[in-house]
Amino acid sequence: MKDKFKQLCSRTRAAFLGGILIIAGSTLAFTQLDEAQEAAKAPSVRLISNDAPIKRDGRFATSFAPVVKKVAPSVVKVFTTTKAKQTGFSQVNPFDDPFFRRFFGDDFGGERSQRGLRIPKQHGLGSGVIVTQDGYILTNNHVVENADEVKVAATDGREFTAKVVGKDPKTDIAVLKIDAKDLPYLQVTDSDKIEVGDLVLAVGNPFGIGQTVTMGMVSATSRGANVGLDYEDFIQTDAAINPGNSGGALVDTEGRLVGINTAILSRTGGNQGIGFAVPINLAKSVMESLVEHGRVIRGFLGVRLQDVSPGLAKEFNLDESTGALIADVTEKSPAEKAGLQTGDVITEFKGKPVRDSRHLKLQVGQTAPGEKVPLKVLRDGKTKSFEVTLKELPQTELASKTDENEARTDESLRGVTVGDIDDAARRQLSLPRDLKGALVMKVDEDSAAYEAGLRQGDVIIEINRKRVQNAEQAVELSDKIKDKTILLRVWGRGGTRFLVVDESQSG
């Protein structure tokens, strides 16, 4: 009798993206207002916008001093403090870590705490941008996160205690409010109109030495930097951004706010010519929602997405590796009600082309719940149109993009041992009660399947678009495979994803 355990495939490719740092500012906290209280106040905020096009005549200005004089009073220092804490055990001061010494110097953070002693107050420094006359300020979430006290220092020497109106870890944006009137504020502009090659100025307070202005150009737009945020749509610039610049202003040559400086890519902790700013269009929408609703209201489609790799494009008969592949559809979600299916590739959303899963996630998140949205998908090589009514993203919803390492694949089905799902495995791996398939017991690390992203504990639920009920069926289907590439649909890490296993390059 044929053994129901079968070696199917895999080898691994490790991907490492090092040196991207969320910069400057302390890791300090705040207590959010009760939603009912926030709704009762129902304030609103309106930023002054100037969307006139900038001059692109190719001429260099001899001085940006007039722009700096206009912008500088609106960029403030943000000081944060955490209260001293009592410890009952030996603990090393986290700010003694070399990571923080790179930013703040060897003396930052004070002494190490000893057994039973207090951890002293911790201080952080970042920047912020005044965007309304009555004291609303944009900054980064990581500047004020966990802060017990937040203060703002203006360029005229005045100092204010700031209230944290709200924060959004998904975009690293936070909103502060100070009690003041007739403040110098920055006008905003349409950041979607920024082009690669446009000159920009970065204004902030790096290293605590005082306000500093640097100049550079826009190196890229709509950039994902893999800094751990759910929504990344950065403006990339080579204007020098250093620790302490977090929350500061990125302005165009007219002095209009185009972005909030957020992160740098660095292996030394200092500027290396690659900085990232949250576009003001995204920051503005987050701010308005935080002020008016006490939280960020985002659209919810109800799909698990992954990028279309060249291997997946070939398997799904796509001409190019663009669009967002639906790896799973949430039950009773807007996507399911509209008729979307696993394996569909979303190519157009609200009349705009979809470049990848990150891009689509941004588009969905910035769409109001309840809005009817047209979209187009490729299904079995044919374009189909749908209309979906979005819901509000649940507050517990996690990032829905499948990790690229899980979906990056080039190889096939040898070196994999599978077995049936029993009650013990279902409990141990927290598998859904109705999940059927072949449980991956082992994956050889030098196999094509491991390279494709298949791991022990995954459940194979489809092989070449055919359902797998158990290990025996997985073996039978694998025996019939003649091609060197295999399309798997697997369950693992809390959701489903597609993998393309390419055996042609295995030894």
Cβ neighbors of 371 (< 8 A, separation 6 or more) are: 299, 389, 390
What average pLDDT does this structure show over 170-191? 94
Is position 246 annotated as part of the catalytic site?
yes
Q: By C-alpha distance, which of 471, 467, 506, 469 is closest to 485?
A: 506
Catalytic residue (choose from 113, 127, 168, 172): 172
Q: By C-alpha distance, which of 10, 6, 13, 12 is closest to 439?
A: 6
Domains, the chain, in order of start with CATH, read 185-293 (2.40.10.10), 299-392 (2.30.42.10), 404-505 (2.30.42.60)
The pLDDT tens digits for 82-98 are 776 554 444 444 444 44
Is position 44 annotated as part of the catalytic site?
no
pLDDT for res 160: 94
Choice between 144 and 429, residue whose per-residue pLDDT is larger:
144
The pLDDT tens digits for 254-308 are 999 999 999 877 666 666 778 899 999 999 999 999 998 888 999 999 998 888 8
Between CA 225 and CA 20 the distance in angstroms is 8
Choice between 261 and 396, residue whose per-residue pLDDT is larger:
261
Residue 462, H or E segment: strand 459-463
pLDDT for res 396: 46
Choice between 318 and 31, residue whose per-residue pLDDT is larger:
318
Residue 485, H or E segment: strand 485-492
**Alpha carbon separation from 246 to 129, 150, 212, 250, 464 (Å, rounded):** 10, 15, 12, 11, 48
**396: alpha, beta or left? (left if phi > 0; alpha if psi -120 to 50):** alpha
Q: Are residues 48 and 188 in contact, defined by beta-carbon separation less than 8 angstroms?
A: yes
Q: Is 263 helix (H, G, I), strand (E, B) or coil?
A: strand
Catalytic residue (choose from 10, 74, 142, 400): 142
Q: Which two tokens stand for residue 480?
A: 């019939």
Q: By C-alpha distance, which of 16, 9, 7 is closest to 499?
A: 9
b/e map 341-378, b = 16+ CB within 10 Å: ebbbbbbbbeeeebbbbbbbbbbbbbbeeeeebebbbb
Residue 76: band (very low, low, confident or very high) from pLDDT cuts 50, 70, 90: very high
Written in H, E and C, the secondary structure of 311-337 is HHHHHCCCCCCCCEEEEEECCCCHHHH
Between CA 186 and CA 136 the distance in angstroms is 11
Is position 142 annotated as part of the catalytic site?
yes
Torsion of CA 41, 299, 359, 252, to 10 degrees: -20
Beta bridge partners of 353: 348
Catalytic residue (choose from 26, 246, 266, 506): 246
One-letter amino acid for residue 313 of the chain:
A
